[in-house]
Amino acid sequence: MSSQDDQHNGCGAECFGRRVFLRDAVAAAAVLVGLSALTPMQQLSALELRRASGLVHYPIPAADGVSIDTKNEVILARSKGEMFAFALSCPHQNTAIRALPGTSGFQCPRHKSRYQPDGTFINGKATRNMDRLAITRDGATVVVDVEKFFQSDEQPKEWVAAVVKL
């Protein structure tokens, strides 16, 4: 991610630091407890088709559910005819967010912030919704820009628009 992109996204060095922190935390935890214990959602990396310039293509799942791409730190969710891509890290202090059973939403394991299936904040220590990544449809796939994410408090219009209607 370039510093220009950081500025465009309104997050500067904080974003880079957050991604590095999260990546290191995930790697360390994976060594200690095993990746499956850390990421209870379906692993998505095998479904990744290609990545170029920050763009990652994912097949559109046939049914509602949540998957995770730990390599690119993306949560991909289908819920009630809509597709969302979220940053894996909690907007409070960057802990990897987990999916609640079924499509009932998300919860951060660190301070228990809870979010609706569309990423809307419900309660807890976080002060904004889950960060959404830019997402578009391309035929039977969705294309996620892993370098461009939107914070609901600073970019509310972009956050609302970051959805694919199926």
Neighbours of 116 (CB within 10 A): 15
Binds ligand FES by CB under 6 A, chosen from 23, 110, 114, 128: 110
Binds ligand FES by CB under 6 A, chosen from 113, 129, 151, 155: 113
Q: Which is nearer to ligand FES, 51 or 125 (CB)?
A: 125
Decide: is 41 part of the binding site for ligand FES (CB under 6 A): no
Binds ligand FES by CB under 6 A, chosen from 92, 100, 114, 116: 92
CA gap 146, 3 in Å, rounded: 15
Q: Which is nearer to ligand FES, 51 or 111 (CB)?
A: 111
Smallest separation (angstroms) from ligand FES to the CB of 136: 28
Binds ligand FES by CB under 6 A, chosen from 120, 124, 143, 163: 124
Q: Which residues bind ligand FES (CB under 6 A)?
A: 90, 92-93, 95, 108, 110-111, 113, 124-126
